[in-house]
Structure 1
């Protein structure tokens, strides 16, 4: 089984995240997409960052109706700070029959050469890239790399930061979130 790992803080998860993940599940050769909720770094405590279990709960609720999309809290139990290579190594050991791939925005690909052990990631894993409007250029080594697949997914310009700021200003953000995530966010009075 081919699993696409979609890493993020998901603070909060929004429809852009779901659209990209579903597109990857439906229009690539990936069988499932796991939303890997990145824990809050104990070294960078941010007031706007919800606790790990609240962000995981929103992802859990948002993906409940999609059989190809799954929430994952694997990084909550791994040493901090989390490096993608370590998470990939751990998952591969835990699930040797699965093939794990990374899902990332084009903006992250532009700085991929700065990631810890990026060569090892590329040696052992495919990367599925979705388009983003961003500055900078993609390193030529990644331009036509056989393990890097550019997926013609919709460009989503919605961000969790925008949603948090809008909630703080009393704006209605309900259409921007999956219904179940919105209900939890509203019920818990988050970001106000």
Structure 2
């Protein structure tokens, strides 16, 4: 990897929070801080994506979203990156394969909100993701029941770590996932766009 890509050391546990960040908001910041603490992460990367294959309308320009993300998320252990645009991946599974190849010995943890777990079975190669990268799920208001009843949660029920063991997620062998049920900010990027604030 070139200097334009995030730095990672062998053996580190790095959380990956992917998304359009259109726009980034306080909810993303809160999820990141909770994930660093609860999942025992050494570092966390925001993967600001070029676009979301599951969304019909394209996001704001990548440069604008990167700038906004860096302005709102200022933490010494969080890196804002456009690595997906740089390596040319479109789907999460492709990104994870590329990261594992380019960062041998680094342990990645995929992070998502509970709303994403509810529709995770629609993602490209979702079973591969579950079976190759530990997943930390952070609850958001209103998403708890649908996430726990989701196809992914049912298929991989035996791979779920209890919440009290969330801190070992990054050292667990996939498939492994855990659900951290916390009261979080109910902000969403779509609500901010609807209000015309972005």
* TM, length-normalised to structure 2: 0.74
1:33 pairs with 2:44: yes
1:75 pairs with 2:75: no
Partner Cα distance (2:181, 2:78) in 1 = 19
- Aligned 8 A contact 2:26 2:185 in 1: no
Partner Cα distance (2:57, 2:125) in 1 = 26
Matches within 5 A, 1:167-186: 167=196
Structure 2 residues not aligned, in runs of 5+: 1-11, 161-175
Partner Cα distance (1:98, 1:6) in 2 = 16
Which residue does the alignment assign to 1:150?
Answer: 179
State how many pairs are aligned.
Answer: 165
- Aligned 8 A contact 2:16 2:46 in 1: yes
Partner Cα distance (1:112, 1:164) in 2 = 23
Partner Cα distance (1:163, 1:111) in 2 = 22
Structure 1 residues not aligned, in runs of 5+: 169-190
Q: Displacement of 1:45 after TM fit?
A: 5.0
- Aligned 8 A contact 1:40 1:51 in 2: no
Q: Displacement of 1:2 after TM fit?
A: 0.6
Superposed CA deviations along residues 136-166 of structure 1, whole A, max 9, x for unmatched, are 4222113342401112333331111222232
Q: Displacement of 1:111 after TM fit?
A: 2.1
* TM, length-normalised to structure 1: 0.76
Q: Secondary structure at the match of 1:158?
A: coil
Indicate how the Cα distance of structure 1 residues 162 and 119 shifts in structure 2: closer, same or farther if over 3 A, else same. Answer: closer
- Aligned 8 A contact 1:20 1:154 in 2: no
